[in-house]
Amino acid sequence: MGKRLYIIAGEASGDLHGGNLIRELFAKSREGSDDGGQRAGSAGAPTSAARAGLSIRAWGGDRMAAAGAEVVKHYRDLAFMGFTQVIMNLRTILRNIDQCKKDIEAYKPDALILIDYPGFNLRIAEWAHAKGIPVHYYISPQVWAWKKGRVHTIKRVVDHMYVILPFEQEWYARYGVTVEFVGHPLLDAIDQEGRTPLAPLPGADDRPLVALLPGSRQQEITRVLPMMVEVAARYPAYRFVLAAAPSVPDAFYASLTGDSPVTVVSGRTYDILRQARAALVTSGTATLETALFGVPEVVCYSGGALNVWIARRLVDVRFISLVNLIMGREVVRELIQADLNVSNLSHELERIMRPGPDRDSIEHDLGLLREKLGGPGASAKVAGAVWKSMCART
């Protein structure tokens, strides 16, 4: 009888990493092996023969569906940003949690894999643990930044935690929690991207390209993109290309870019970053993606006044970008709240675009960052560990 897995990812980045993980899980089922899963780079959706050995039901997105999972709830229906958005949508969130529990119970999986998304997933983990369902957590919640008390919940209800940042293993050890550092899954995605031919972007010309990554949620895009557009109007010598999130309607971007010199391109973020000389990036996973392509960047963040007031009292970190957090110092400039304005953004863009010591220093540090994160293979390692654990239970 085949294995049954249930996977939950609540955001675009979780869908990306979930898709790569699912491909590796189906590869494990084809091998019928429990050797630890060190092989990486499997491609393509599973065949019907592979499905006979493993079935996966999921909450996620298009990438997870393309990899072979049966996606029953899309992440775009789950993404609520900031404290106020969560409070305003609390009834919907609680209804989703209840619906998810019922679906898991009906599916009767051999194990549950949770990908980041802690506000939702930790509630599911507690419930699943009580039901006797093995819980694997891939991509730890950032408990080292805020809500440190969650580490005790994780210790109690998560059977296997796979962390992706080099300092997390040591941090968890202080609380008596054993976790496995698997490397960062973005390296898998970027490694795969590097094997594909580089295709030209719409409107390509000889001007240096500046990538605009204003986020994947409409609330954050509305706050940041108008400033990016105004900066673009100041520099006709540069070509500005916006990496559009597939979940955001084209009309929404058009309403903010208007007749500005910004080209909007959807579904080709990595193509854009491969050709960019610099980038303006809203804080989040995109800051690390940009850095791993070796692109100097300016990190932007503008949140609602109440959200920022609460965050400053709860979050215990020196930086907001993963780049600076991992390196433990400022490698890329962060413009937050009042510091994020057109004048400062323009100044920082000029600084990283022109040749010289500043740009050389950033590029050197981005190389060190990649070394800290290790090589590709996170998806294969997690798939191997999950498969081995399931085989051990039969």
pLDDT number for residue 203: 84
Q: In what order do the strands lie in the sheet with 180-181?
A: 70-74, 54-60, 3-9, 111-115, 135-138, 160-163, 180-181
User: In this predicted structure, which of 39-53, 209-223, 351-365 has the lowest mean pLDDT?
Assistant: 39-53
Query: Tens digit of pLDDT for each residue in 272-287?
Result: 999 999 999 998 889 9
The enclosing domain of 381 has a CATH number of 3.40.50.2000
* 13 and 126 co-located in one domain: yes
* 12 and 136 co-located in one domain: yes
Classify residue 45: in a domain, yes or no: yes
* 77 and 223 co-located in one domain: no
CB 70 within 8 A of CB 122: no
Beta bridge partners of 209: 239
Classify residue 363: in a domain, yes or no: yes
d(CA 281, CA 287): 6
Classify residue 49: in a domain, yes or no: yes
* 14 and 31 co-located in one domain: yes
* 215 and 308 co-located in one domain: yes
186-195 average pLDDT score = 83
- pLDDT more than 90, % of the chain: 66
pLDDT number for residue 73: 93
pLDDT band at 93 (very low <50, low <70, confident <90, very high): confident
* 162 and 261 co-located in one domain: no
β-strands 239-244, 209-213: how paired?
Answer: parallel
pLDDT number for residue 316: 47
What is the span of the domain harbouring residue 273? 209-373
Classify residue 188: in a domain, yes or no: no
pLDDT number for residue 21: 96
pLDDT band at 79 (very low <50, low <70, confident <90, very high): low
pLDDT band at 85 (very low <50, low <70, confident <90, very high): low
d(CA 55, CA 107): 10
* 34 and 172 co-located in one domain: yes
pLDDT band at 70 (very low <50, low <70, confident <90, very high): very high
* 164 and 213 co-located in one domain: no
* 384 and 294 co-located in one domain: no
pLDDT of 167 strictly over 70:
yes
* 213 and 321 co-located in one domain: yes
Q: Mean pLDDT score of the chain, rounded to an integer? A: 87
Query: Tens digit of pLDDT for each residue in 49-60?
Result: 445 589 999 999
Query: Tens digit of pLDDT for each residue in 313-340?
Result: 445 457 889 999 999 999 999 999 889 9
237 DSSP 8-state letter: T
pLDDT number for residue 39: 40
* 299 and 343 co-located in one domain: yes
DSSP SS3 for 56: strand
Q: How many domains does the chain have?
A: 2
195 DSSP 8-state letter: T
Cα 119 from chain centre: 16
d(CA 45, CA 29): 13
